[in-house]
Amino acid sequence: MKPLVLISLLCTLTSSVFAQTSHENTEVQQQIMTVLNRQIEGWNNGDIDSFMKGYAASDSLRFASGGTVTYGWSNMLERYKKSYPSKETMGVLTFTNITVDIVSDDAALVFGKWTLKREKDEPWGLFTLLFKNKSGVWRIVHDHTSSGN
């Protein structure tokens, strides 16, 4: 009878650990989606500074796109402002097909598709983001964005 009780107790503990992990993953995914949604909102308001709040304000921030790599938050901000000098050039941003893959307690990979709807064109592409959690705040530390056009 004792082995049966032990097995039952083990199954109960295991299922509660999986339930807790699943709940924690859902919370992390929601936190990351909040960051992405705030970026979209900032972009669509023509506010690159708000969009940039989704990124870690660090010199080690890495952004790869268009065959070049930019390091550092300030350099990335400058690149965005140069590439998108007006609300019209920014267009309306949407993210779709988003997958959040939590790889550790403080890191997650995010995959998705971006689209800009502008008056004369609709560029799109794919992105891979590495989010890191520092002091309870999730921010992008690596961004690899490609163009599908």
Please say if the pLDDT value at position 106 is more than 70: yes
Tokens coding 14:
């295991």
Question: How many domains is the chain built from?
Answer: 1
Is residue 118 pLDDT above 80, yes or no?
yes
Give yes or no for residue 85 having a pLDDT over 80.
Answer: yes
Kindly tell me if the per-residue pLDDT of 111 is higher than 90: yes
Cβ neighbors of 93 (< 8 A, separation 6 or more) are 39, 40, 43, 44, 114, 115, 116
The pLDDT assigned to 25 comes to 83
Using alpha carbons only, give the angle 141, 135, 30 rounded to the nearest 5 degrees. 70
Q: Which residue has the higher pLDDT, 81 or 7?
A: 81
DSSP 55: B
Cα distance between residue 93 and residue 87, in whole Å:
11
Which residue matches tokens 């890495």?
62
Question: Could you tell me the CATH number of the domain that includes residue 56?
Answer: 3.10.450.50
Q: Is the pLDDT of residue 19 over 50?
A: no
> Mean pLDDT throughout 24-36?
93
Is the CB of residue 100 less than 8 Å from the CB of residue 129? no
Q: What average pLDDT does the segment 9-29 reach?
A: 58
Quote the tokens at residue 78: 């400058």
**Mean of the pLDDT values across residues 110-135?**
97
Q: Residue 5 — φ and ψ, nearest 5°?
A: -65, -40
CB atoms within 10 A of CB 83: 12
**Average pLDDT of the residues of the chain:** 89
What pLDDT digit, counting tens, does each position of 33-68 carry?
999 999 999 999 999 999 999 999 999 999 999 999
pLDDT(12) > 90: no
Alpha-carbon distance 61 to 21, whole Å?
A: 29
What is the average pLDDT across 84-95? 97
Helix (H) or strand (E) holding 75: helix 73-83
Range of the domain at 50: 2-145
